[in-house]
Amino acid sequence: MVSSLIKTKADLDKLPASWYSGVEKSREKARKLNNKVVAVDQTTSVVVGRLIAIDIDKLWNFKYPYCKLTLRNPQRYRSNGNFECKMSEIELFFVNKPKMLLDLEELSDRHPIIYRAIRKQIKICP
């Protein structure tokens, strides 16, 4: 559980309950999408790759827990739909809200240009 990552009561006082709720919901959503092609919606870009591992971890020196996602062969697209780059073979991403993790249906609704660009690569019929 997320609460096992908290070491002191002081850490608990700093974070609102909604933070833990968002992290837990993110993990549950990610579990449903394990070993599928997913997108991580970031502020200025969208990263698309195959989800291979899910965990809850603290982000470096911060005391806040995040849902840690491991993607295989991710590709970064700008939010306007332009391809930016292929990333390394395995990349880590940290999310704290379930709306940041998108399945292909959500991706087609939220970013249709990116969905059209990747559907040929993942062999989805038009």
Percent of the chain with pLDDT over 70: 83
**pLDDT score of 126 more than 60:** no
Residue-wise pLDDT tens digits, 90-109: 988 988 889 999 999 999 99
- Give the DSSP letter string of the chain: -GGGG--SHHHHHHS-HHHHHHHHHHHHHHHHTTTSEEEEE-SSEEEEEEEEEEEEEE-TT---EEEEEEEEEEEEEETTS-EEEE--SEEEEEESSGGGEE-HHHHHHH-HHHHHHHHTTTT---
CATH architecture type of domain 2-119: Roll (2.30)
Residue-wise pLDDT tens digits, 61-99: 767 888 889 999 999 999 888 888 888 889 889 888 899
* Neighbour tally for 68: CB within 10 Å: 19
**pLDDT score of 38 more than 50:** yes
